[in-house]
Structure formats: structure tokens, C-alpha cells
Amino acid sequence: MTAPGPLRAPSGSGLDTGVVRLGVLGLILALCLGVILYLLTDVREKLTELGSSRQDNIQWTLTQLEVEFLKFETAIMEAQLALAPTPQPPDPAHLAEVRTRYDILYSRFETLSRGRAYLQALGDPSVTVSFDAIRARVYGMVPLIDGADTRLARALPDLHGTLTGSRQEIRRILSIANQVMVAQSDRAREGVFQVLRGLALATLGLITVLCAMVVLFRQLALIARRRLDQGREAAARLETIFRTSRDAIVVLDPDGHLRSANRAAQLMFGFSEAQIREVAAGDFLRREDALEPVRGADLFEACAGGAHTGYRLSGYRVDGGRFPIELSMTATDNDGPVLVCVIRDISHQVAIEAQLKASRDQALAGERAKARFLGVISHEMRTPLNGILGTLDLVQEAPDSSDCTAYLGVVRNSAETLLQLVNDVLDITQIEGGDVTIHRAPFNLDALIDDILTSEKPRAMKAGNRLFRSGLTQAGWVTGDATRLRQVLLNLVSNAVKFTEGGEIEVTLAREETQMVFRVRDTGIGMSAEERERIFDDFVRLDGAVHRQIQGTGLGLGIARQLTLAMGGRISVSSRPEVGSLFTLELPLPAAAPARPDRREDLPVAQRALDILLVEDNPTNRFVARRMLERDGHHVTEAEDGAQGVAASAAQRFDVILMDVSMPVMDGYEATRAIRSGPGASADSRIVALTAHVGGDIAESLRAAGMDDVIAKPIRAQVLRRLLAEAACDGPQSGRRQGRRNEAG
Amino acid sequence: MFRTALLLAALLPASLLCGLSGIPPAAHAATEAPPQDAVLLTVTTPAGVTRLDRAALNALEATEFTTSTIWTEGPQTFRGVRMTTLLAHLGITRGAVHLTAANDYTITIPVQTFRPDGAILAYSRNGAPMSLRSKGPLWMVYPYDSSPDFQTEVIYSNSIWQLERLSVTE
């Protein structure tokens, strides 16, 4: 496979150079073979020459000339010896021998003259001349030899003389001829030697080349084997990866059909090994959103530019399950183009992502809720504070104090609204959470309307507006949530006052069976239809409000709508720009029987003046409490923190100790424990905790610390008065210690 | 002393053979035709000595071929008796034959090596009897041109001319 590219390069080039070398060697081999073939034909020629000789043993034949020459001479000498004593008549037997030897010699000359081979041997010019001369001399003897015996016998000495004269010459001729022959055979040998040497060299070359080729082939075989091993190793590794991968690995052909799939793929998509060939890409891969089956061609197209990773799709199990997957793939060529896909089941990842997203959304929603909450608190606190401050302005500017009582009622109502608001912090949180608790009780609707109008009047007058009520003059008592209704109506009236200048605000009441319809109409700036759509959404501040620098968080109407819905009613608006707006509030407020008149109780006043230690770090609170107590005739000693309180209580005996809980230096718990456990004069005085913390087990823990009573802030005169009355009745030493003593006695 | 002895040894056989050859005294090969009853070949076998004259040879089946030889110029037509035929006629089937020429040139040839297409004992060349001067009267020739087998030095050495005697050994 290709993966190990750099791994393969060197061995590949080795193989290539090997092949080139082999080619070169092959060429040399062919050359050697050609040379050898050529030399072999040469050798064959030489062998043929040696095998089928064109001549007999020339040296022998040549030497026979001398032998026969000598035999002829000997025959003549013998004939001369035999005839010498008796010249007449000659013995024919001796002459016959001479004739025979002559014939043989003649025949020899004839042979040497006719045969081409001998002509060559006797080819030397000096030799030829001598040979021809001698032959002519011998042939010249024919008349004598063939002649009569007596004549031959007489001529014998002459013949002998001639022969003797030629003997040395014959010797010379044969020596030279022999030399020629030797040289000739030497040349022939040399030729054979040359050819054989060439053959040997060529053969040597051939063997060398063959050896080199053997070595090279061996190297090539080694390289090939190494590469095979590498390939096999890589294949084994890949096979292991393929088999053990947790990700599905599938191979697709261009039609989108599966070529192969690992075990993880089978498990992931739920098909068996036998089904692999029947499954197509579209059967288990679909587009994430459209759920459209994925075609093989699409995948190949996507991979045209190289490997593709992190492709999010939907995976489908054969049995129908669906899960998110991430596809990475690359096209490769393996017996035709195929696509290798690695598929990861990212269900887990997607789930985590969803969780993260939900957490983030929640956090963001929390942030928004917090912002909205703060906005609501701010707005809702500002509204009653406005009533208080406005009324105080009226009191200050009133020409006589006769109106003050009415004004104080307004201030108290507003302040109570404020307190209610603080008490309802948790409720507001609940409003935001859509979980608003409605407490229904009978209440005087007319009084509520009057309160609202009275509290808004100062601002209305300031802006030159006329604020008045019309319609149903006596609404009477109804059953409903007075607090929420006040919130909503105050909001509507307050808004109307804010957005109107030199106009009028009319609050109309009408009853429709159990439904009460409130209409708040103004002649203010109004709003467009598009603005009307958004007016009840949270945080909406219209352009008009922004331009006129009218304060607000844009939450008021949103809260009003939510509260109205929670109370089972409806709120709507109609408006025209520059003409005015009309808010209509419909609420189920069934009429109720009037409760007993809201009268001031005859509060008990302490029988006698008490010595009271006031431990409180806040100067305002100290001032208010001190004035309340002193008005009832008590003696008040102040301490600014727990430590001071402990010191004061040790020095003097107090009837009652009013103890704040959260204080610097030493808090209420610690101070109480110190007083109770110490030997001070007030160790068993009545200790009353003053706390702004309101909660289930706070009172319990305070009592455990040694407190006798708990009063929640803000301190109301009636509550304080009742408590001190009890203390006065109980007399001195009404604290815990006394109680304990009673228990003991 | 020693040299004299050697010389004598060399000369002695020649003189001895001259005595035994039995050549008629007035045999003038070149000038007059040899007599028809002259012995051409003396055959010595363990059974005895046979002398063959021209008539005896002519009576045997004759073979004729034309070939060139390295000793002559141009093609030569030889006529004679196949050696195989001759040996069969003489009852020689095994052993080796020793052929000796007038100049005492001797060769030995195993009987088995004679081939039916091989040597003949030629008694005429180009239609005429051969004289001693022209390698006669008997010349054992091979059809040299017919096969490279007959172009070797052994064959050339075997081509004995001026043949006089034939003997057989086991």
C-alpha cells in the first residue's frame, strides 16, 4: 500500500537501478554471446580444417624425397660395385634395382610437382629454381634408365656423379621447405590460438557477466523480498488497525456499495458480515439535516480535492436507529477507485455539546434574569419612594398642619408598598420564573384607587396634568390580590403621568358581572401600532420615552402583563401617536362583603418607664428606635456595637436590652452569650433581638444564643410597644435568668 | 665402429628386399607393357602365400570412381577392386592388414575399418594401367571427394601407392 511512501522510496530506487544494471548486463551478455558465436564459427572452421586436412604429412613426403634419392644413389653404388670387377656383361638384377629406385624417385618428384601442398612448401624462389634444376637432371636420366643395360651400366658413374652433386642441394631444399612448413603450421597454430584465446576471453566475459547477473538477481530478489515483507508487515498493521478500530472503517466503490467493513462498522450500523455486499452508502449514511440518503457519487465528488475530514452526517442502523456521526474519508485506487471512510459515532460528543449549550443558555438566561430582576427592583422601589418624597414635599409646603394626617396616610401606604416590595423579593423572582403566587383576600377597591391617585397626584400636578377618576363611583369591597392590583394600576397610572404633559389622565372603573374593567386613558405622546406590539415585552423602552429622558427600565408593563395573566385577567392597549393611549385592564374581582373597618388598635402602653439598652450600629435606626422609646417615656442608653453593649450592660442593670444582630466588632450572638455568661449587672435582663434577616431557623438560633424575643426590621411602633408592655408587666428581672430561677424554685 | 654398424643395419633390409621382391629382371615399366602374368600383389596369410596377377584382379568385381587427389592435378578416374571385396575374396575377416610399398613404406589397417564405400585397390587410372613412375601398378585410393571422412591425414597416409605386398596378422 502507499502509506509508507518514504519507507518505500529507497528500496524502490534500488530496484530501479537494479533493473537498469540488469539491462546493461543483459546487453553485455548479448554482446559476449555474439562474439562467442562468431568465434565459435571461426573455431568450427579451424576444426574443420584440422579435421579434414587438405594435405597429408608433407614433412614425411618431403623427407621421403631425400630417402628415395639416397636409395637410388645407393642402388647405383651397389650396381657399380657389383659390376666393377666384371664390366661385361652387366647383371640385370643390379640394374633392375637401379631402375626400380629410379622409378620410385621419379614418382616422388612427380608427386611433389603435382600436389598443391608441396608446391607451397617449395614455393620459395631459390628452392623452386634448385628443385626444378634437380628434377630436370633426374628426369634427364630417363633415356639412360630406359635404355639398354650396357649403356646404363656404363653411365652408372656419371649418374652417381650427378646425384652426388645434387645431394647437398636436396638437403638445402628440404631444410628450407621444412622451415616454410614449420612456419606455416606455426601460423595455423597461432590462428587457432588466437581464436581460442578470443573464445576464452569472451567466455570469461560471459561467465563474469553471468556471475554479476546472478549477484544482481540475488540482490533484486532480496530487495523484492524485503519489500514484500514490508508490504506484508504494513498490511498486517493496517489489518490490525482495521480490525481493532473503535471507529467504523468502510470501503465504498463508486456506486456507493460496500466493498468491506470492519467489525466496528458492523456493530455500529447493525449489519452482519454476510450483508456487507448488499449494503449501499445511502442505507446507513444520510445528510444531517435533510435526511436525504448520501450517494456514493456525492462522497467521491467531495473527495475530489483530497481527503475530507469531519463531515457531520446522520448514521442509520439497519434496524432503524439514528445517531450522529462524523465522517472522514479519502479516495484511493485499489483495483478501481474506492473510498476509504472512517466513521465515528459522535452521539456522546453531540450529547455533551447539547449539554454545554444548554448550560450556556441557562447561564445567559440567568444573567438576563438577574439584569431584569435588578431592573424590576429598581423600578418598583422608585415608584413608592416617589409617593413618599412627593407627599413629604406637600407636607413641607402645606400652609397649615390640618392636611398632614391625610398626607401621612399616603406616606405610610407608599412605605408599606415599599416594605411589601422588599418582602416580596422572592415573589418577584418567582414572577420572572413565571410562577406568581396570588393571595386573594377581600379589600376596599375604592380605597386602593384613592391611594394610587393620591400618590401620583403630586407628579401629575407637577407636569400640569389633571388626574381624576370617573365611571363607577363606588366599587366597594372585592375579593382579589390587592397588592398585585395596586402594582399593576400604579404602573399604568404612573406611566400615563410620565408620558403626558399638560393633558389629562382619566382612570375609569366599570363592572361587568364578576369582571372589573379599569381604563387608564391619557392624552400623552401615544405610540405607533408597531410600538404597541412590543410594549408588553420586557426591557422595551420606546423612542418617545428615550427622547424625553423619562426614566424607566422598560420592565413595568412586562411585569403588569405577567401579573395580570397570573390573576386571570387581560391587559390591552390602544393608542395613536400624539393623541394618547388607553390601557384596558380586565380582572376577575368578584364583589365581597366589607371586612371590619380598618381601625387603629388601642395599643398597650408600658405601665412604667423602663431602662433600655439599645445596641445598634446604624445611627438612623438608633435615632428612630430611641425616639419611639423616649416618646413612650423610657430611658434609653445607646451602644454602637456588641462590645460596647456588653460593657454597658455590665456596668448598669437594664430592664430590656434591644440587640441588633449584624454588627461590627462583636455581633449580637456573641454579645448575648457574653452578657448571659458574664457576671454583669444585666446578665439576666430581657434581651430582644432586632434583625433584618428573615428566615426559618434564624429565630431558633437567636433564642439558642440566649435571646428572649426576636423582632424583624423595620421596627413598627405597635410591635415594640406591645413587647415592652409585656416586659413591664413581668416586672424587673423578667429575663431568662428569672425564668430559669423559677424553674429551679 | 658403432656408426658403421648402424649404417649396415639401415642398408641391409633394402638389399634383402631387393632379393625377395621377385620383380622380373626386364621389367621396363615406362617403355613396355608389363606382362599379363606378372605378380602384382603378394598376399601373406597364416594359411599361406597367395600371388595375384592382373588377370586375377580383373576377375574380381571392379569398381570405378572419379575423384581428385592431393597428389595429382585435376579429377582422376580410378578403376580397381574394393578392398572389402578383395579381403572377402582372400578370406580375411579379422585382424589387421599390413600393406607394403615398393619403397618399403608400410601401413597397418584393421580389417574392420574398410568400408564398402571406401578404398579400392586401383589398377588403372584414367583408363590406363599405372606404371611404377605414376604410383602404379597398384594404388589404394579412397573416394576423397565423396566425404570429409576421406580427407584426413590418416586416410592420406593409408593411400599407399606402388603397393607390392599384403600380409595379415591376428
List, in order, residues 6 or more apart from A306 with CB less than 8 Å away: A330
Gap between the Cα atoms of A488 and A480, Å rounded: 13
Distance between B74 CA and the closest CA of chain A, angstroms: 10
What local confidence, expressed as pLDDT, does residue B9 receive?
42
Residue A212 lies in a domain: no
| pLDDT band, residue B138 (cuts 50/70/90) | very high
Please state at what angle helix A482-498 crosses helix A445-462, rounded to 10 degrees.
Answer: 20
At B100, the pLDDT band (50, 70, 90 cuts) reads very high
Is A663 a domain residue?
yes
pLDDT band at A229 (very low <50, low <70, confident <90, very high): very high
Show which of A137, A157, A173 is a domain's final residue. Answer: A173
**Residue that the C-alpha cell 381601625 belongs to:** A599
For residues A506 and A616, state if they share a domain: no
- Mean pLDDT for the stretch of residues B145-169: 88
- Domain check: are A88 and A169 in the same one? yes
Nearest to A343 by CA among A314, A321, A319, A369: A314
Predicted pLDDT of residue A8: 41
Whether the predicted model's global pTM rises above the 0.80 cut: no
Distance in angstroms (rounded) separating the CA atoms of residues B31 and B27: 9
A558/A603: higher pLDDT: A558
User: Are residues A407 and A526 located together in one domain of the fold?
Assistant: no
Residues A428-449: b if buried by 16+ CB within 10 A, e if exposed: beebbeeebeeebebbbbbebb
Q: Which three cell numbers stand for residue B20?
A: 625377395
In a domain, A737, yes or no: no
- Put simply, the answer to whether B11 touches A99 (Cβ < 8 Å) is no
Q: Strand, helix or coil at A115?
A: coil
Q: Give per-residue pLDDT as tens, A711-736.
A: 878 888 888 888 888 777 765 444 44
Specify the number of domains making up chain A. Answer: 5
Higher pLDDT, B15 or A447: A447
Cα–Cα distance for residue pair A344/A326, rounded to 1 Å: 5
β-partners of residue A518 are A509, A585
Lowest mean pLDDT among A50-64, A257-271, A421-435: A421-435
Contact (CB<8Å) A97/B18? yes
pLDDT exceeds 90 at position A520: yes
Q: Which residues in A lie closer than 8 A to residue B152 (C-beta atoms)?
A: 51-53
Q: How far is B106 from chain A (nearest CA, A)?
A: 13
Query: Which residues share a beta bridge with A588?
Result: A515
For residue A592, count CB atoms less than 10 angstroms from its CB and return exposed for 0-12, middle for 13-18, buried for 19 or more: middle
Grid cell of A265 as nine digits:
462498522
pLDDT-above-70 percentage for chain A: 85
Does the CB of A107 have a partner CB in chain B at under 8 Å? yes
Mutate: best of B103, B104, B150, B157, partner A, most A CBs <10 A: B103
Are the beta carbons of A51 and B152 separated by less than 8 Å?
Answer: yes
pLDDT for the residue numbered B1: 41
Are residues A361 and A250 both part of a single domain? no
The listed range with the strongest mean pLDDT (A217-221, A297-301, A696-700) is A217-221
Determine the structural domain holding residue A339 and report its residue range. Answer: 246-351
As a residue count, chain B comes to 170
Which of A45, A47, A53, A70 to mutate to test binding with chain B, by most B CBs within 10 Å of its CB? Answer: A53
Would you call A96 and B27 a contact, using CB atoms and an 8 Å cutoff?
yes
* A735 belongs to a structural domain: no
CATH number of the domain at A321, please.
3.30.450.20
Interface with chain B: mutation pick from A78, A104, A139, A185, highest number of B CBs within 10 Å = A104
Main-chain dihedrals φ then ψ at residue A579, nearest 5 degrees: -110, -45
**For A637, how many CA atoms within 13 A lie in the half-sphere containing its CB?**
18
User: Per the structure block, which three cell numbers stand in for B56?
Assistant: 586375377
Contact state of B23 with A96 under an 8 Å Cβ cutoff? yes
Bridge partners of A340, per DSSP, are A251, A330
The pLDDT value given to residue B16: 39
Which helix (H) or strand (E) segment holds residue A672: the answer is: helix A668-677
Region of poorest pLDDT, from A310-324, A554-568, A650-664, B122-136:
A554-568
Residues in CB range of A321: below 8 A, 6 or more apart: A270
> Domain check: are A507 and A385 in the same one?
no
For residue A99, list chain B residues with Cβ-Cβ distance below 8 A.
27-28
Note the pLDDT tens digit of each residue in A188-213.
888 888 888 888 888 888 888 889 88
Q: How confident is the model at residue A540 (pLDDT cuts 50, 70, 90)?
A: low
The residue among A524, A735, A724, A549 whose CA lies nearest residue A635 is: A724
Minimal Cα distance from B149: which residue of A? A52
Please tell me the total number of residues recorded for chain A in this structure.
Answer: 745
**Mean pLDDT in residue range A434-455:** 83
Specify the higher pLDDT residue, A430 or A634. A634
pLDDT value for B80: 92
pLDDT of residue A743: 34
A238 part of a folded domain = no
**Which residues contact residue B108 at a Cβ distance below 8 angstroms, ignoring those fewer than 6 apart?**
B96, B97, B98, B99
* Residue A46 counted as domain residue: no
The mean of the pLDDT values for chain A is 80
Residue ending a domain, choose from A378, A395, A420: A420
The whole-number pLDDT of residue A544 equals 58
* Contact criterion met (CB below 8 Å) for A225 and A66: no
CA-closest candidate to residue A608, choices A589, A627, A634: A634
What's phi and psi for A466, nearest 5 deg? Answer: -105, 125
Q: Residue A497 maps to which CATH number?
A: 3.30.565.10
Both A470 and A580 in a single domain? yes
Strand partners, A638: A614
Per-residue confidence (pLDDT) for residue A2, from 0 to 100: 39
> Taking CB atoms and an 8 Å cutoff, what residues of chain B touch A57?
153, 156-157
The verdict on A487 and A562 lying in the same domain is yes
CA distance A649 to A735: 13
Residue A542's pLDDT is 60
For the record, the C-alpha cell of A167 comes out as: 645431394
The one-letter amino acid at A596: R
Distance CA A232, CA A1 (A): 9
Q: Are residues A416 and A441 in the same domain?
A: no
Q: Are residues A409 and A284 in the same domain?
A: no
Which residues have CB under 8 Å from A572's CB, separation 6+? A583, A584
Q: Mean of the pLDDT values across residues B86-107?
A: 89
**CATH number of the domain where residue A668 is located:** 3.40.50.2300
Q: Which residues contact A499 (CB under 8 A, 6 or more apart)?
A: A522, A524, A525, A544, A545, A548, A550, A581
Q: Cβ of A142 under 8 Å from any chain B Cβ?
A: yes
Is A736 inside a domain boundary? Answer: no
**Among B residues 85-124, those touching chain A with beta carbons less than 8 Å apart:** 102-103, 105
Measured CA to CA, the distance from residue A383 to residue A490 in angstroms comes to 8
Which class is domain B31-169? alpha beta
The reply to whether A460 and A534 lie within a common domain is yes
Given a cut of 50, is residue A380 above it in pLDDT? yes
For CATH 3.90.420.10, list the domain ranges present in chain B: 31-169
Tell me the CB-side half-sphere exposure of residue A339, using CA atoms within 13 A.
29
Give the pLDDT confidence score for residue A547 in this predicted structure: 56
Q: Is A375 part of a structural domain of the chain?
A: yes
Q: Using a CB–CB cutoff of 8 Å, tell me whether B8 touches chain A.
A: no
Same domain, A524 and A414: no
A493 and A580 inside one domain: yes
| Burial classification of residue A516, based on how many CB atoms lie within 10 Å of its CB (0-12 exposed, 13-18 middle, 19 or more buried) | buried
